[in-house]
Amino acid sequence: MSSEKTGDQKLWGGRFQGQTHKLVEAFTASIGFDRRLYEYDIEGSIAHCKTLQRAKVLSQRECQTIIRGLQAIRKDIRAGRHQWKIEDEDVHMSIERRLTEVIGPVGGKLHTGRSRNDQVTLDLRLYLRDTLHHLRKDLHRLQQSLVTLAERYMGVIMPGYTHLQRAQPVLFSHHALAYVEMVERDKGRLEDALVRINVMPLGSGALAGNNYPIDRHYTASLLHFPRVTQNSLDAVSDRDYVIEVLSACAIVMMHLSRLSEELIVWSSQEFHFTDLPDGFCTGSSMMPQKKNPDVPELIRGKTGRVYGHLLSLLTTLKALPLSYNRDLQEDKEPLFDALDTVTTSVKIYAELMAQLTIRSQHMKAAVSQGFLLATELADYLVQKGVPFRESHHVVGNLVRECIAKGKDLQQLTQQDLLQASPSFDAKTFQVLTPEAAINRKNIVGGTATAQVTKQINGWKKLLRAETKHSVKKK
């Protein structure tokens, strides 16, 4: 046999006489990354073993022997004693190979009535069920940090922006709560994905089902699945649920990237709205004065990486015929890396936002420039009966005149206002303050102090209830 060939074909049966070429062995192996599924592979194998006994395919003694062997292997893996061999190719064959070594030929009976095709999608669904639960908890903690930040700086006024141009005054707390809303939708998308993840595929075999009288609903009950898949071809080739998760991850990262962009801009000397905690910044190797927002920049950069993972799997699946094809091995690396990236990013931001310092005086100074109260003047005229389009034109002229004279709207005299429109009066100046502008927005969803306070209290109550519910579920 040529030294260029290697690999043990025993697990593949009698179809092959030669050994796998060493290049092919390394190229096709997924054990380097799919071994993180070992807990779920063993959990699924134990349930399958019990189902085979229930169907009288295995005796009670054989079932007990196999389960004890699987539990011993799980213990060894947890302790770092298991040898992951590249010739085993993947986590499934590694565990099955070791099982046969531990308990003898009876270990070979475990694979009766299943294929790696339905086995791997089961493992992925079990893995995602756990992982998304933890990610949802991390998102919950990020919301708590944002709500706490909003409460801490309640009353701080900042410029609200459109087109990155100063537009109208808003409470900083209102701005922070906008991200709480985003994260809530992120959590909802994960919950939606779990509905379709939580379907049990085992029993579908390679593609056509299997020839043994197994009770798939019994297997599902052992693994806490509420439903079983209804079409074996679809079950082994479906990766919609992985795409859904990658899509949800991409949207989470998009939200974090928007937050990153704001923190990067706000922490610049040009804005100086925020001071990032030292533990989340780095210095320059050349310029001693620098404090660089590296963490927000990295998270902004990693967003593109997660987008790429979503696109890669969409591309992989776009032309696959039914049912299983080896291309589907390319689902795991993008999924694992995306989840690792998102989870770490969310955890970091939960800590960073808890320590963020807001420079309220700089925000207040920015509010006093840029004609942020122009809309208040236009709306005041509307309340006096002037059509909005006309009032918009009147105030636009005032702004132009102020720019020419180097003034702000608050520096105008009553005579200046009356020359612009006879509908102005002495009470006009009551609306020309940031506080008045904010508190006039006293409708649901507005930036008024009363509304934002109500939102903060509502979020605190909701997040506490979620925390209690999570503790009870444990």
306, two tokens: 């997660």
Distance of CA 304 to the CA centre of its chain: 14
Of 59, 133, 268, 284, which one is the catalytic site residue? 284
Q: In 10 A of CB 203, how many CB atoms?
A: 25
Number of residues written out for the chain? 474
Q: What is the dihedral of CA 147, 151, 154, 158, to 10 degrees?
A: -30
Buried b / exposed e along 137-173 (16+ C-beta atoms within 10 A): ebbbbbbbbbbbbbbebbebbbbbeeeeebbbbbbbb
Q: What are the angstrom distances between the C-alpha of 321 and each of 49, 77, 120, 125, 311?
A: 31, 36, 18, 22, 19
Q: Is 284 annotated as catalytic? A: yes
436, two tokens: 């008045």
The neighbouring-strand residues paired with 357 are: 275
Of 2, 163, 285, 469, which one is the catalytic site residue? 163
Q: Is the peptide bond before 237 cis (omega within 30 degrees of 0)?
A: no
Q: For every residue of 281-339, which 3-state class applies, written as one string?
A: CECCCCCCCCCECHHHHHHHHHHHHHHHHHHHHHHHHCCCCCCCCHHHHHHHHHHHHHH
Q: In 10 A of CB 84, how many CB atoms?
A: 14
User: Which residues form the catalytic set?
Assistant: 163, 284
